[in-house]
């Protein structure tokens, strides 16, 4: 029985390619795990973006002195408000939160794409085109207003001011 021939170059390159793909998938998974580890699950507004949004019971409902309800009404109102707020927020985020986050992620991704690939090159193109116009306008101003400004400069340079104290 003849010995098996060594694998050809194309098989080796395919194996290397598979390894690279697996390696990049593992690198992506590690990156995602690191991002999840960095996510602060307690303080979810570290930059204070929603400081103006105050929805605690004490921020929304208050009874001034002289107009107090019965203690049982006030304490049960607190429990109902807190439960309703928590339940409605959790249900809304359960059904809509991921999709809205996806929407905003795509929106800001498109804004970044537009800024990087469209606006910045257009601004650079505008700057390049305006250089030519700047030269033209500079020459025109020097030709038209240069002699007038020089004459005014000569006229005002002959004025002398003397200060007499006395």
Average pLDDT, the chain: 84
Give the other-Cβ count within 10 Å of 158's Cβ: 6
**68 within 8 A of 74, measured Cβ to Cβ:** yes
Q: What is the pLDDT of residues 36-65, one digit of tens each?
A: 667 888 888 888 888 888 999 999 999 999
Where does the pLDDT of residue 165 fall: very low under 50, low under 70, confident under 90, or very high at 90 and above? confident
3-state secondary structure 67-112: CCCCHHHHHHHHHHHHHHHHHHHHHHHHHHHHHHHHHHHHHHHHHH
Task: Please give the DSSP secondary-structure letter assigned to residue 94.
Answer: I
Compute, in degrees rounded to 10, the torsion defined by CA atoms 82, 54, 95, 111. Answer: -170
Q: How is residue 2 annotated by DSSP?
A: P
Q: Which helix (H) or strand (E) holds 25?
A: helix 9-38
Share of the chain above pLDDT 70, in %: 78
Q: In 3D, which of 92, 91, 112 has the Cα closest to residue 100?
A: 92
For 144-164, what is each residue's pLDDT tens digit?
999 999 999 988 888 888 888
| pTM, rounded to two decimals | 0.53
- Cβ-in-10-Å burial (0-12, 13-18, 19+) of 85 comes to middle
pLDDT digits (tens, 9 = 90+) for 88-110: 999 999 999 999 999 999 999 99
The larger pLDDT score, comparing residue 1 to residue 44, is at 44
């Amino acid at each position: 029985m003849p010995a098996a021939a060594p694998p050809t170059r194309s098989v080796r390159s395919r194996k290397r390619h598979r390894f690279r793909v697996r390696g990049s998938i593992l690198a992506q998974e590690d990156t995602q795990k690191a991002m999840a580890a960095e996510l602060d699950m307690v303080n979810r507004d570290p930059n204070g973006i929603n400081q103006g949004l105050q929805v605690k019971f004490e921020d929304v409902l208050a009874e001034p002195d002289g107009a107090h309800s019965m203690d049982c009404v006030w304490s049960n109102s607190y429990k109902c408000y807190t439960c309703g707020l928590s339940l409605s927020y959790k249900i809304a985020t359960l059904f809509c939160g991921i999709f809205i986050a996806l929407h905003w992620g795509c929106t800001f991704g498109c804004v970044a794409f537009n800024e990087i690939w469209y606006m910045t090159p257009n601004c650079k193109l505008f700057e390049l085109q305006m250089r030519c116009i700047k030269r033209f306008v500079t020459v025109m101003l020097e030709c038209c207003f240069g002699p007038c400004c020089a004459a005014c400069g000569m006229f005002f340079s002959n004025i002398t001011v003397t200060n007499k104290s006395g």
